[in-house]
Amino acid sequence: MNPLAILALVLAVIGGAPALIFGHVAIRQIKQTGERGMVMAVIATVLGYVWLVVWAFLLYSLLTTGR
């Protein structure tokens, strides 16, 4: 099991957009080494994109409403 895939999934569950970086790196490593964890890395990457959109929307709404 690729350790970066595990880390990416943990970050994605917590709500961290850095899961994107770790997910992409894990996918690249898994393709090169043949390790397990591809599904986990892809899920983490997708969740990372979702969290990135959520955080961007929250930041935008905070900046535009003045609260």
Question: Over the stretch 9-54, which tens digit does the pLDDT of each residue have?
Answer: 999 999 888 999 999 999 999 999 999 999 999 999 999 999 999 9
pLDDT of 54 reads 92
Is the model's pLDDT at 66 over the cut of 90? no
Which run of H or E residues covers position 6?
Answer: helix 3-14
* Model pTM score: 0.87
pLDDT of 65 reads 86
Is the model's pLDDT at 67 over the cut of 80? no
Question: How many domains does the chain fold into?
Answer: 1
2/4 Cα distance (integer angstroms): 6
Using a 10 angstrom Cβ sphere, with 0-12 exposed, 13-18 middle and 19 or more buried, the burial of residue 8 is: buried
Range of the domain at 31: 3-65
Instruction: For residue 33, give both structure tokens.
Output: 């080494």
Per the CB < 8 A criterion, the answer to whether 17 and 48 are in contact is: yes
Instruction: For residue 51, give both structure tokens.
Output: 């969290």
